[in-house]
Structure 1
Amino acid sequence: MIESPARHEHQHEPSTRAAGGWAIVAFAGLVGVVLAATSQAANATVTMPSEPMPSVSPRLSAATQAQLMSDVLPASPPITLTDQVTDGADVLSDAERQDVDSALDRLADESDLRMFVVYIESFDGTEPVDWANASANQSGLGPDDLLLAVATVDHEFGLSADTNVPLTTAQLRSIDNSVASAVEDERWAPAATDAADAVRRAGTAAADPLLVAGIAVAGALVLAALGYVLWRFVLPRLLPRLTRLTDRSTAAGGPAPDELADLPVPELDQRASGSLVRIDDALKTCEQELGFARAELGADATRDFELILARAAADVRQAFAIRQELDVAAQAEDTQADGAPGADHHEADEYRPVLGDAERRARLTRVIALCESAADTLDARTRAFDDLRRLQQRTPELLADVVAREPEVTDRVAATRATLERLAGRYPADTLAMVSGNPEQAELLLVNAKAAVSAGRSALEGGQKAVAVAHARGAQNALGQAVMLLDAVDATAAHLDRAAGRLDKAIASLTQDVVAARSVEGDFRVTLARTAAQASLKHVEVTREGGDPLAGLQRIAAAEAALDAALAGTRDFTEVAARASALLRDTLGRVDEQLRQTADFVATRRGAVGSPARTRLAEARRLTDAARSLQPIDPAAALGEAQRASKLVQEAARLAREDADAVMIAAEAKHDANGSDENGPITGGMMLGGILLDPKVVRSRRHAATARIGGGFGGGGFGGGRPATLRKLGTVRAWWPTPVK
């Protein structure tokens, strides 16, 4: 039977009414939310000017700024802030200055806002807020910073606040009134303290409970209405389409792979290596920046950042360990492939990859993920670290410090050259290869540091504070690397002198072991070890004069370890353990020096050193730590770990020197081909040291991230090694009511 149209319509009427009811509820909820949001936005909106206020970007030169601001600031130019209180009118006593500082500190401690205060005698006819806005822009203040400018002779003041400051119009007017009464009565210190306290109360004030409750109820109604609409109307139409899409995806072989899954294994391998180099550079820069901050502020102030750095370093160590496993597997595959064509092998056994593509891809992806995790850990504290050091306020101080320290470091270069000449007369060139170029590299870094200071001061004069910070960082890092290079030569000299002194003792110890081995007859292993030890003694005696004492010690230690292992069956357990412990201490001391020397080389040539050298160095550190953990319980096993660490750190040193030499040879070839040195001294200075400066790319105050050193900007900083994002410097300031005279 066919239903009548009336019956059909009547049958669905209850649902239609229900849907209509929900629609009304949803509409009411939306209206409530819109009204609440509109009310909140109206309260939070800072009144904007009828005409746009001028914005002075720190990128502009001083001359350009003067031209742009000539109609606004005819007689009183803005200033660049260097402290939170600037008493240019000399109206504050020491006690009053302390009261103002305390009020500003309370504001910074109890809220996200900061305030700066400037006292001058007169605005010279300039609108007070215009003068305050221009000074705030020129000083690079951010959205959470306010500037109170007070003219003591004019009895006027201007309060500069960013358009995005988290304060309502009513709160701003309340702050204005608290300042106006104090200025009118010539109470200069209370004008600032009352303003700071008013901002602090406004910044920490709770929202209206009724407004919050209204928004919550309206939001709940809207969510309920949307849920009903989705369940009643959207899902029945959407589910069939989703099913069809799922079927198509399954037929096509599953969901689309992500970016890394699309990459061929060789390209994924290159990306993993690049990620390791970038994050390792970032760690080294963070360590250097943390050292600067510790020297300036003390260990207590930087303890949290040390923990953050340790957390990121743990991820990087794990990534390097995976990279080492991959490199070892690749070497094994190469060895197997070279030996495969032998006649005694079946064709199917000629080559068996140690790792399949799927396993290699998974490990490489894990390396990249660990590097990203470490970068995120560091980037999360970049702003906090910059706020701790207050670089924008302290840029002139940093530049002056570099200028003051540079002559002392320059004088050390001549002394270091003399030390190297003395060492060259006693030891072969290979022994000094890691430090022989240090004086020249230090000189180039000092040249770069002076150039960076000059550029930083020019940027300050032009009002480009963020650019000046970048140059100050570069100058400080260049000077720090120069000191590291010179210290490395002194440390190497001391280590060689100690090694030469220990050589006699090592020769005597091995000679006694050889004599003891002669009494053991019929043991082929002992005979073989004794013969090798005698050969080592002969070699060391022949090469001792003018030879490498470190190589001699290592050769004797290896021979003594082999002879001890052969004689272990003829000695009691106590003697075996004691000899292993003594040999382990000597080996760990030598490995520690090798690690220090190689790490210094990589840190000061990180613009050139690639992933393989860094991977071997990280693995050597891991094995050394393992040896120390085993030292109390199993000295023999610990000795084996230490000996493997020694081999790996030597390989790391060789690879690092090859990388640095290749970069310098390529630079010289380019210089010879072009007939000009277009890079100047930076080729072997900041560029080789991984400190590149680009005045057009600077760290923003809020999202500062260290670009990869060796390809980065600004001389480094505390961050995860990601490229810095270009961000316009300076902000347009909000209009502020005319103060009461």
Structure 2
Amino acid sequence: MTLLDPTTELGRRAVGTCPVGGTRNPGGARSVATCAGVRKDRRVRALRGRVVTVGAGVALGASLLMAGAGAAAAVPPPALREDVTDESGVLSAGEEAEVQAALDQLAAQTDYQLYVVYVPEFTGAAGGTEWAQAAAEASQLGADDVVLAVATETERYALVPESAGAITAEEMQAIARSAEDDLRAGDWAGAAVTTAEGVEAAATGNAVPGAGGGGGGFMTALLVGLVVIGGIFLLTTFTSRRRKQQPAGRPLQDTAGATRVASTADEFHQLPTAELDRRSAQALVRLDDALRSSEEELGFAQAQFGAASTREFETVLVDGKQRLTEAFRLRQTLDDDIPDTEEHVRGTSAAILRLCREIGQRLDEQKEAFDQLRAIEERVDDALDAHEREAATLRARVAPARAALSALAARYPASALTSVAGNPDQAELLLGEVGTALAEGRQRVAAGERSTAVGYARAAEEALGQVRRLLDAVDTAGEDLAAVGVRLENAVASITSDLSDAARLARGNAQVEPRAIEAREAVAAASAARSGQGDPLAALRRITAAEAAIDEALAPMRQQAERSRRAQALLDDTLGRLESAVRATADYVSTRRGAVGPQARTRLAEADRLRMRAADQRATDPEAALATAQQGEQLVAEAQRLAQVDVENAEQMAGYGGGYGPGGYGGRGYARRGGAGDMVSGVGGMVLGGILLDSILRGGGGFGGGGGWGGGGDGGGFDGGGFGDGGFDGGF
């Protein structure tokens, strides 16, 4: 399989480019009988009608997680000689044969022809759709020719044209969504086979899975790929439609014709370890976004219909959050300082992926019922009015929030306010975008486009929820910092007692003395913080850690009952502080989840798990509970730091107006690219919050849906989608 230039025979399939010896029909189509030289090696198919320039195209999910993508090999749009072009080398010989068989079947049963191209990266064009269009144009493809282009390293893809002959745009969307399921699962061959099967079904008048049914409800587009970080998760991220439609263990033919069984145990065996590790991290981010936004969506429904009507959804959500906690615990074993064997990395990553898939499937089962419950399209006018009123209420809170932060800044150092310092600005930015979305939604209602108006209403609702959370966090920060002063006083009194015990029981003891020195320094830092000369939260963390350390050193010299009593006293304060820190960091991640990557989320989830574990240990083993809670404090502090680094890097890479560019895990940032600018200019607030309007208008959203990992823009991404550039209604 090779890439050829536009001078190839296939590249001369347009009017006036028939090779020597061939003729062309008046309408521009070639006669197969007289232009046989341009036939493909493995099939003969007449080109119906005119030769066309490929149109807008379907591209799913604009830019995606881009985690550590690195410098992929650049491949410009080629002219296509072969049915299958694999510049990435992702297909085995057996898989290539499987794809070719599907393409041959399509050609035998229909007038359509599918070209499949795998390259590391789309270059030489503005995005995935443009790249695929350029390849189609370079090859002079016909009206019934379809191109599936996949960038394997940067995880984007496009399916063009937007419609093909008798195949409607809606059917092409459904075909693309089905192929995306396979791409997410790493089934490169499966994506091509699924596309061929979908084109054949549409061409022969059979139903295409996922086509039809409109886009009215909040849940309708779970399978379309919403990118809201307010975020509604794309459940099919974890579910390959092709695999769901066939029995597990279907035999596939390898190069020798022998049977290869795709069992659950070896479903990831072909993936390199680094890729498997990366995908597990991506899956956690997507599912974490899904559950966060589903929780918000559930809150909307509970406010509207009451707890009784939403109890089943709440049960599924609680179960999903518990299982996600376990998945994050597994991930933490890969992120800690203990070296991992390759076997451990592979086994743990596979377990995470399976957990995420199972949770996604549970959420997916609630799709239809939740959609029916909300029925947003029927009341979209009322929804837009309600959002307008809510926006006015929240807008009135921005100025007081700024004033509150100014007052706090006069009393506390900047380091104590990092998690909320930017909240008023982010809230104001979001409110501006809400106004734009509501205005556009009203225009769509007036034009009779109610289902499209639903997308704008949904984007506004998600953004308003984030604004509320941002402003609430400012209020809570003031309360938390006010409580720190009292806690510092108590901590100083408690550790002073420890220092007295150290002087009385262990003067000069080699184990106790260094810890006594740290305790005295911690007391000095606490005194400075109380007088406004330091960070009170940092001082409180330091003095608590110092007291725990000196308590441990003094433990052999104290009675067990006394140790338990002191541990219990420390535990109360530590748990309260940990709970506040987890809540503040969770708010920060939720309202900036368009930029926050898996490492911060993993630390946060593990800190929350340890918080709950410490609470469970409290009655039976306060000393162990204290150690657990202190470990949680360390993790939540690290989570906050990593999240801030991710957000700062994302902002530096792109700024608020133009979306987020490629990022990576950890220190390089974890950014996603936004891109609703074709519809609503300046959507930086929504992008940072993970609300990509173009994807919402494609129908994403609802309980469990969506994925804050993509966006409109340049080509499709298959780790969390949405319809990207070149889609319908003017090319989102």
TM-score, normalization: structure 2? 0.58
Is this contact kept in 1: 2:380–2:454, CA < 8 A?
yes
Question: How far does residue 565 in structure 1 lie from its aligned partner after superposition?
Answer: 2.0
Partners of 2:366 and 2:676 in 1: CA distance: 37
Partners of 2:262 and 2:388 in 1: CA distance: 63
Residues 682/247 of structure 1: CA separation in 2 closer, same or farther (3 Å cut): closer
Question: How far does residue 254 in structure 1 lie from its aligned partner after superposition?
Answer: 11
Q: Which amino acid aligns with 2:258?
A: S
Is this contact kept in 1: 2:578–2:629, CA < 8 A?
yes
Count residues with an aligned counterpart.
459
Is this contact kept in 2: 1:587–1:643, CA < 8 A?
yes
Q: How does 1:297-696 map to 2 (within 5 A)?
A: 297-328=305-336, 331-333=337-339, 354-355=340-341, 357-520=342-505, 521=507, 523-546=509-532, 547-668=534-655, 679=677, 682-694=682-694
Alpha-carbon displacement from aligned partner over 1:672-695 (angstroms, at most 9, x marks no partner): 999xx9948745310000011117
Q: Quote the residue 1:293 is aligned against.
A: 301
Work out which of the residue numbers 282, 285, 289 in structure 1 matches 2:290: 282
Q: Which amino acid aligns with 2:527?
A: E
Alpha-carbon displacement from aligned partner over 1:404-442 (angstroms, at most 9, x marks no partner): 121221111000000111111111111111110000000
SS in 1 for 2:343: helix
Alpha-carbon displacement from aligned partner over 1:522-549 (angstroms, at most 9, x marks no partner): 6332333322211221233244432211
Instruction: Please report the RMSD computed on the Cα atoms of aligned residues, expressed in angstroms.
Output: 3.5
Partners of 1:301 and 1:447 in 2: CA distance: 33
Residues 358/387 of structure 1: CA separation in 2 closer, same or farther (3 Å cut): same
Is this contact kept in 2: 1:441–1:684, CA < 8 A?
no
Q: Which amino acid aligns with 2:338?
A: A
Q: How does 1:214-225 map to 2 (within 5 A)?
A: none
Residues 255/526 of structure 1: CA separation in 2 closer, same or farther (3 Å cut): closer
Q: Which amino acid aligns with 2:559?
A: D
Residues 376/245 of structure 1: CA separation in 2 closer, same or farther (3 Å cut): closer
Is this contact kept in 2: 1:383–1:704, CA < 8 A?
no
Partners of 1:534 and 1:384 in 2: CA distance: 61
Question: How far does residue 451 in structure 1 lie from its aligned partner after superposition?
Answer: 1.2
Partners of 2:312 and 2:368 in 1: CA distance: 14
Matched, 1:708 2:694: no
Alpha-carbon displacement from aligned partner over 1:45-92 (angstroms, at most 9, x marks no partner): xxxxxxxxxxxxxxxxxxxxxxxxxxxxxxxxxxxxxxxxxxxxxxxx
Q: Quote the residue 2:132 is aligned against.
A: none
Is this contact kept in 2: 1:689–1:710, CA < 8 A?
no
Partners of 1:516 and 1:696 in 2: CA distance: 63
Residues 255/310 of structure 1: CA separation in 2 closer, same or farther (3 Å cut): closer
Question: How far does residue 698 in structure 1 lie from its aligned partner after superposition?
Answer: 2.8
Residues 292/672 of structure 1: CA separation in 2 closer, same or farther (3 Å cut): closer
Is this contact kept in 1: 2:473–2:584, CA < 8 A?
yes
Is this contact kept in 1: 2:215–2:699, CA < 8 A?
no
Question: How far does residue 588 in structure 1 lie from its aligned partner after superposition?
Answer: 0.5
Q: Quote the residue 1:188 is aligned against.
A: none
Is this contact kept in 2: 1:691–1:710, CA < 8 A?
no
Residues 473/257 of structure 1: CA separation in 2 closer, same or farther (3 Å cut): same
Residues 246/690 of structure 1: CA separation in 2 closer, same or farther (3 Å cut): closer
Partners of 1:254 and 1:456 in 2: CA distance: 47
Partners of 1:304 and 1:257 in 2: CA distance: 32
SS in 1 for 2:693: coil
Alpha-carbon displacement from aligned partner over 1:125-182 (angstroms, at most 9, x marks no partner): xxxxxxxxxxxx99979xxxxxxxxxxxxxxxxxxxxxxxxxxxxxxxxxxxxxxxxx
Residues 431/681 of structure 1: CA separation in 2 closer, same or farther (3 Å cut): farther
Residues 534/263 of structure 1: CA separation in 2 closer, same or farther (3 Å cut): same
Unaligned runs of 5+ in 1: 1-136, 142-241, 334-353, 714-720, 730-741
Which range moved further: 605-614 or 660-669? 660-669
Larger radius of gyration: 1
Q: Which amino acid aligns with 2:632?
A: A
Residues 245/686 of structure 1: CA separation in 2 closer, same or farther (3 Å cut): closer
Residues 414/493 of structure 1: CA separation in 2 closer, same or farther (3 Å cut): same
Alpha-carbon displacement from aligned partner over 1:89-146 (angstroms, at most 9, x marks no partner): xxxxxxxxxxxxxxxxxxxxxxxxxxxxxxxxxxxxxxxxxxxxxxxx99979xxxxx
Partners of 1:138 and 1:475 in 2: CA distance: 20
Matched, 1:249 2:258: yes
Is this contact kept in 1: 2:582–2:604, CA < 8 A?
yes
Q: Which amino acid aligns with 2:293?
A: T
Partners of 1:696 and 1:600 in 2: CA distance: 22
Partners of 1:509 and 1:140 in 2: CA distance: 60
Determine which structure has greater relative contact order: mean sequence separation of CA pairs < 8 Å that are 6+ residues apart, divided by chain length: 2
Question: How far does residue 697 in structure 1 lie from its aligned partner after superposition?
Answer: 4.4
Question: How far does residue 447 in structure 1 lie from its aligned partner after superposition?
Answer: 0.8
Partners of 2:261 and 2:434 in 1: CA distance: 57
Partners of 2:367 and 2:261 in 1: CA distance: 43
Q: Quote the residue 2:275 is aligned against.
A: 267
Q: Quote the residue 1:13 is aligned against.
A: none
Residues 294/568 of structure 1: CA separation in 2 closer, same or farther (3 Å cut): same
Alpha-carbon displacement from aligned partner over 1:179-221 (angstroms, at most 9, x marks no partner): xxxxxxxxxxxxxxxxxxxxxxxxxxxxxxxxxxxxxxxxxxx
SS in 1 for 2:402: helix
TM-score, normalization: structure 1? 0.57
Larger helix percent:
1
Q: How does 1:176-215 map to 2 (within 5 A)?
A: none
Alpha-carbon displacement from aligned partner over 1:297-335 (angstroms, at most 9, x marks no partner): 11111111100111222332222111111112xx434xx
Q: Which amino acid aligns with 2:519?
A: A
Q: Which amino acid aligns with 1:530?
A: A
Partners of 2:378 and 2:691 in 1: CA distance: 23
Partners of 1:300 and 1:423 in 2: CA distance: 41
Which range moved further: 366-375 or 628-637? 366-375
Partners of 2:307 and 2:513 in 1: CA distance: 57
